[in-house]
Structure 1
Amino acid sequence: MRAVVFENYEQFPSLTDVPKPSPGPGEVLLRVAGAGACHSDVSVYRHFKEGQPGAQRPPFVLGHENAGWVEELGEGVSERVKVGEAYLAYGPIGCGHCRKCAKGQDTYCENVATMPYLAVGLGRDGGMAEYVTVPAHHLVPLGDADPVDAAPLSDAGLTPYHAVKQALPHLEGGGRHALVIGLGGLGQIGVQILRALTGATVIATDVKPEARARAEQNGAITVGAGARQAEEIREITGGRGVDAAFDFVGITPTIATAADTLAQGGRLTVVGIAGGTREFSFFTTPYESYITNTYWGTVEDLWEVVDMYRAGQIRPDVERFGMEDALEAYRKLEAGEVSGRAVVVPHGS
C-alpha cells in the first residue's frame, strides 16, 4: 500500500510502498478515509534530532489524525465495533495500566518514558496510508458524519476542546472575555468551541488577514498584529483584560501578548509547542492569574468533540489531497499555504 513515511531525522518524508498491516489482539484495521497533516509531523521530520527528548525513532508512517471504516477486527475485539462503519481514532497510546491511562488520559501516561511510541503516527505507524491499525477501545463512532472532514478532529478538534474545557470555570458568568492567539487549524476550531460552550466575547488575533476574516465569520472580534496589539485587546475588554487566553502558537512574543492582556484571576493556556518562555514578576503579573499548558486531550473529550461535530457546532476547514499529492500537502503546510487543515484522502473522495 502507499504511505507517507518518516525515514530519517531532519529529512523530508517519502511517499512509498509499505506492507499492509494486520490488526493484533485488541486492535482493528481501518481503511483510512482521511488523515490530517499536522505541524507536529513537520517537527518530527524537520526539527527533532536523534536522542532529543520527544524525538521518535524512524522509520514509521506519519499521520496521527485519522478516521476511516473498520475493515477487520483483531483477536478479542468486541462485535460492538462494526465492520464497515466509520470511526474517528484517538491517537495517543499510553501503557494502559497507570492511573492516568485508566481515566483515558493516555497523553499523560505515567510510564511514557518506557513506551516504544507516543501515538499512532508518532513513533508507531500512522494513518497517512491506505490502511492503519489502532486500538479498538480508541475508536469513536461517527455514524453518518463525513469521516474525511472529521479526521482532523482527533487533534485539531480535541486539543483546543480539552484546553477550553479546563478553562471553563474562568468563563462562567456575564461580561467574560476569551482570547485566541493563532488562527490556524486549531485556533479556528477553538473559536468555534468557545462560541458554542460559553457566553464569553471571543477575541482572536493572527498576522494573516484571511485567517482573521474566517474567525470573524465564526463570531470572533479580531485584532491584527502590531505595536498596539495588547492595548487594542484590553480596550475591547473595557480595560479589565481577558479571563482566559489560549495561545495556539507558543513562541515568546505570543505568550507575552496573552500574558499582558490577562485580567486578575485570569488563566493563560499555552497550547502551541514552540518553546516560548515568560519571565515572572510579582509587580507586573495580575494577581492570582497563572500560565499553564495542556497537551492533546482524553478519550472522553474526543467523544464530546464528535458530539459537537455531529450537532454542527464545529466545522473543520479542510483542504483535501489525494494520496499521490500527500507530499504536496506537507510542502504547503511548511510554507504556510494551508489555511485550515490539509487532509489526505487515500482512497479518493
Structure 2
Amino acid sequence: MRAVKLSSPSTLTLEDVDIPEPGPAEVRVKVAGAGLCHSDLHLVDLGDAWPAFGLTMGHEGAGIIDAVGVGVTSHSVGDAVLVNLVWSCGTCRACVEGRDNACEVTGGRDSFPSAPGLTADGAMAEYMIAPARHCLPLGGIDPVGAGPLTDAGLTPMRAINSVLDRLTPGATVVVIGIGGLGHVGLQILKAICGSRLIAVDQDPTKLAHAAELGADVTLEPGPETAARILAETGGYGADVIIDFVGVQATVDLAAASIAPEGKVRLVGLGGGAYPASAAIEAPWGVNIQRSYAGTRADLLQVLALAAQNKIKVEYTTYPIDDFQQAFDDLRAGKLRGRAILVP
C-alpha cells in the first residue's frame, strides 16, 4: 500500500509498504479520507528535533473496517468509523475522571497521549491500524470527509466546553482564525449558544465564510482591532476569546480585549506568549488555558452535531499522490477549511 511518511528531517515521501495486520483488540481501517492539519506542518518544520522518523503521517482519519483482531467484538468488517485522535489507556485516574486527553499512561506531564500520525502510524495511507476502542461509529456521516472531525471538530469542542459557563445570551465570544479549526468552532458556538460572535482573520475570504456561518461581526487583525472589540462590548471586553492561531500578535489581541473574569483559550501552535504575571494590573480574574485536543465525550458531541447537520467541515480533496500539493496549499493559506487526502 502507499503511505505518506515523514522519512527524514523536514522531508515527506510517498512510500510503498506492506498492508498491516491488526493485533489483539485492534482493527484495520481502509482509509476513506485523511485530513491535513497545521500541526502536521509543525512536525515537518521541527526538522531533526522530531525523533519519530518513518511514521505514517495523519491524525485525522476515517474509513471502513476491513479486518478485526482477536478479541474484537465491538466492531465488524464493513463498519464506517472515525478514528479518535486521543489513544488514551481508559484506566488511569485521568481517564476514569473523563479527562482522557490528559491520560497519565499513554501521555504524561510533559507529553500528549498516544495518537495516530504522532506516536503510531496514521491515516495518510490506504490502510491504518487502530485500537478498536478508539474507533467511533460514523452512522450516516460520509467517511471521506469525516476525518477532520477528530481534530478540527474535537479540539474546538474541548475549548468551548471549558467555557460553557460564560456562553450566556448576553456574552460576546471572539474566534481568532477561521481556518480548519476555527470554521468548525464557529459552527459549534452557533449551534449550542446564543452569544454574540466576533470572527477575526486576516483573509477577507475567510471572514466572508465566517459571516456565512453566522458570525455577527467580522474583523481583520490590525492596530485597531482590540479597540474595535472593546467598542463592540461597550468598553468592557469579550467574555471568551478562543485563539486558533497562537502567534504573538493574536495572543496580544486576546490580552488586550478580554473582559474581567473572561476566559482565554490558546489553541493554535503559533508560539505566542500571554503577557501575564502574578501582579497583572487589569483586567482582574482572567482565566487562561492552553487547550489540547479533547475527550471521548467531546468527540461524541461532535459526531452528534455532525449527524444533525449542525456542523460541517469544509474541505478540498486531493489524491494521495498529490500529497505535497496539499501540504503546499495548506502552508500557503489557500484552503477554505481542510485538505483531505484520498487514497
Q: TM-score, normalised by structure 1?
A: 0.93
CA–CA distance in 2 between the matches of 1:82 and 1:307? Answer: 21
Amino acid at match of 1:208: D
Amino acid at match of 2:176: I
**Which of 143, 165, 189 pairs up with 1:169?**
165
Name the counterpart of 1:339: 336
Partner of residue 254 from structure 2, selected from 239, 248, 258: 258
Number of aligned residue pairs: give it.
Answer: 339
- 2:101 aligns to what? 107
Residue 194 of structure 1 corresponds to: 189
List, as ranges, runs of 4+ consecutive aligned residues in structure 1 with deviation greater than 6 Å.
114-117
What's the counterpart of residue 42 of structure 1? 41
Farther-moved stretch of structure 1 (135-144 vs 201-210)? 135-144
> 5 Å matches for 1:273-284?
273-280=269-276, 282=279, 284=281
Does structure 2 conserve the Cα–Cα contact (< 8 Å) formed by 1:12 and 1:46?
no
Matches within 5 A, 1:132-143: 132-143=128-139
Preserved contact between residue 199 and residue 218 of structure 2 (Cα < 8 Å): yes
Partner of 2:15: 16
After superposition, residues 49-128 of structure 1 pair within 5 angstroms as: 49-50=48-49, 55-78=50-73, 80-103=74-97, 105-111=99-105, 112=107, 118-128=114-124
Q: Distance in 1 between the 2:29 and 2:21 partners?
A: 10
Indicate the SS of the match to 1:16.
strand
Shift of 1:48: 4.8
Question: Which of the residues 312, 317, 324 maps onto 1:315?
Answer: 312
Matched, 1:268 2:264: yes
**Superposed CA offset, 1:116-170 (max 9, x none):** 9831111210010000011111111111211112110100000001100111101
Partners of 1:212 and 1:222 within 8 A in 2? yes
1:165 to 1:276, Cα distance in 2 relative to 1, 3 A: same
- 1:251-293 superposed Cα distances (whole Å, 9 cap, x missing partner): 1211110121111110000011222112226464211112111
> Is residue 4 from structure 1 mapped to residue 4 from structure 2 by the alignment?
yes
Instruction: State the distance in 1 between where 2:57 and 2:65 align.
Output: 19
In structure 2, C-alpha distance between the alignment counterparts of 1:74 and 1:36, rounded to whole Å: 25
Gap change, CA 1:33 and 1:254, over 3 Å in 2: same
User: Letter of the aligned partner of 1:198 in structure 2?
Assistant: C
1:167·1:244 contact (CA, 8 Å) conserved in 2?
Answer: yes
The answer on whether the counterparts of 1:189 and 1:314 sit within 8 Å (CA) in structure 2 is yes
3-state SS, counterpart of residue 239 of structure 2: strand
Query: Conserved in 1, the CA contact under 8 Å of 2:65 and 2:81?
Result: yes
> What is the Cα-based RMSD across aligned positions, in Å?
1.8
What percentage of aligned pairs have identical amino acids? 40
CA contact (8 A) 1:61 1:129 kept: yes
The farther-off stretch of 108-117 and 32-41 is 108-117
Unaligned runs of 5+ in 1: none
| Aligned mate of 1:297, from 294, 297, 305 | 294
- Please give the TM-score of this superposition, normalised by the length of structure 2: 0.94
**Structure 2: which 5+ residue stretches go unaligned?**
none
More deviation, 290-299/272-281 = 272-281
Aligned-partner Cα distance in 2 for 1:205–1:228: 12
